[in-house]
Amino acid sequence: MAPHIISAVKGAEVDVIKPVRALISVSDKTGIVDLAKFLSEQGCELLSTGGTAAAIRKAGLECKDVSEHTQSPECLDGRVKTLHPKIHGGILAVRGNAQHEQDMADNGIGAIDITIVNLYAFEATVAKGGEFAECIENIDIGGPSMVRSTAKNHAFTTIVTSPEQYQEVIDSIKEKGGTTLALRKRFAARAFATTAAYDSAIASYFSNQLGTEAPVVTKVYKPEYPLKYGCNPQQKPAGILSGMGKELPFSVVNGKPGYINLLDAAGAYQLVKELKDATGIAAATSFKHCSPAGCALAVPLTPTECQAYEVTEADAAALTPAALAYVRARNADPMCSFGDFAAISEIVDKDTAMYLKKEVSDGIIAAGYTDEAVEILSQKKSGNFIILKATEGYTPPNEEYREVWGMTMMQKRNDVIVSNEHVKDENVVTKRKIDDEVKRDMILASITLKYTQSNSVGFAKGGQMIGIGAGQQSRVDCVKLAGRKVCTWALRQHPDVLALKFKEGSKRQDRVNARVRYIEGDFTAEEKTRWEANFAEVPKPLTAEAKAEYMAAFNGVVLSSDAFFPFRDNLDHASKYGVEYIVQPGGSVADKGITECADEYNMAMAMTGVRLFHH
């Protein structure tokens, strides 16, 4: 074929260019044969190298080797294949530039109109634990050079760097007769981001090898979609980005999630997934403002819990594990769960969707959904209920980066999952020991705190969190805050609370709120009048003596702390809430005194050695 030159006005941009010669060199061969076949059918000459050329020829297509095109053999074990004037000249020539056209004619350079390249899998080699020399050998040189050259000359050439772009190229040629300038500009922007991310991965690898001597760390992000605003309406613009070449940990099934929704979804799903991995039991959580309001495992409900949660015993017996876990999670603290973001470790089924349908909730993230569940949940909030599906097999990066006030902080991801290994018998430091059910609740409480804003403590009983104290500067204040929630949870099962007679047609959330206020009892005169309007029969007050008597018999509670207890006042206060078991990291000079305090109260205490601060 004669040298191919497209005529154009010097310096002008050409809108639609039909590819006449394509250069193809891909490591990921997904869909490449179909694209090559289409280009060939359009009369486009195919140039290629190595395995890509073999794959194209195997499909029965004509394909010229790059070495034949350049009249220069590959050399240096394939390190030099495309680094040649007939390649880069064909890519970089400005169409319509008389000098460029003369140079091309003098040197036998034919124009290359479309370059289809994806790069050596450097990161995959690193991830497999390749030796340093092997990783270095997998640094692509020719590929990024072709990508950058084509992207620079996007006024006349098309750079394609991902299989996901192939169909858009095909559609453009079918509809427009070639690639449009708008498409070429977009693809060029993507191409430069691709090479930046590639170089970033190599730079990061070298930095990790050098340790503290690392000269620079680079990160490249791809905008995925914009958000209405950030944490507050005045914080615009806002959006979600992914690491270049990386997938997001979720996909949107329905609705438009906001900034805080996605922060809640991220913490919530990690929490339930780790609980399922650690216990083998379905898990659910009810998240609000970056901390769990409730969290639970699919442990059967007691008859009294059924009454308190407004679930008939027959319905409770029929609940699937996903539904059961969420019923428990939502009822840990139903006032705080109002307007929550739910997460479930399982496939969400009809049962779970029907339960969630009647609750005031912003959205859910789960392992997946049945078609029935999606149909039911999509109707919530006038069709705006947020449904996110967790990406199956998603592996988060080992390092986390966070930008705050012009600083970028980096840390290793907290990938420790508290398990039976952390609460084994050897880790119990008190005279009293623990059984398997207690270990289960210790794991539940500890993993819950891993995703709770610190300082934090949590109380668990029967496979369910029943009180969470988050974000307090003083640890004993965490205990007091969570302890108050424990009292409320327990007293919701008091006979007088279960016997409350509400007016016919009262709303579920109004009943929830009225019960809590009945337990608290600290009404203003105006509030009491409005509270009494909820009832067909106004109840007598729940006296302090009645509450104290009920709580005195309350026991079997596990208390977890995200860091060590510095003073015994934490245990002294916890003893008021039926705490018999404690799990904490330990590691304080006060450990001996705290252990002695636990023994005084006949509490069993395990020390995991794992601090779980979360900020």
Q: Report helix angle 181-210 to 166-176, nearest 10.
A: 170
pLDDT score, position 215: 60
Q: Are strands 399-404 and 407-412 parallel, antiparallel or unpaired?
A: antiparallel
CA dist 153 and 111 (Å) reads 12
CA 481-484-488 angle, 5° bins: 145
Name the residue with tokens 């330990």. 586
Please, are residues 347 and 303 in contact by the beta-carbon 8 Å criterion?
A: no
CA 307-361-300 angle, 5° bins: 35
CA dist 299 and 354 (Å) reads 19
Please, are residues 317 and 295 in contact by the beta-carbon 8 Å criterion?
A: no
CA dist 477 and 470 (Å) reads 9
Please, are residues 321 and 346 in contact by the beta-carbon 8 Å criterion?
A: yes
pLDDT score, position 211: 63
Number of Cβ atoms within 10 Å of the Cβ of 360: 13
CA dist 267 and 390 (Å) reads 12
Residue 562 DSSP code: S
pLDDT averaged over consecutive 10-residue blocks of the chain (615 residues)?
Answer: 40 76 89 93 89 90 82 69 78 85 83 86 69 74 86 92 93 93 93 84 74 66 91 95 88 96 97 98 97 97 96 93 97 94 97 93 97 97 96 91 91 94 96 96 98 96 97 95 97 97 94 95 94 95 96 97 95 96 95 97 97 96
CA dist 329 and 613 (Å) reads 22
Give me the active site residues, please.
152, 289
Please, are residues 2 and 110 in contact by the beta-carbon 8 Å criterion?
A: yes
CA dist 323 and 328 (Å) reads 9
Residue 301 DSSP code: P
CA dist 177 and 161 (Å) reads 21
CA distances 175 to 22, 171, 180, 597, Å, are 19, 6, 10, 78
Each residue's pLDDT tens digit, 395-442: 998 889 999 999 989 899 999 999 999 999 999 999 999 999 999 999
pLDDT score, position 110: 85
Residue 527 DSSP code: H
Helix (H, G, I), strand (E, B) or coil at 536: strand
HSE-CB of 163 using CA atoms within 13 angstroms: 9
Each residue's pLDDT tens digit, 444-483: 999 999 999 999 999 999 999 999 999 999 999 999 999 9
Torsion of CA 568, 571, 576, 578, to 10 degrees: -160
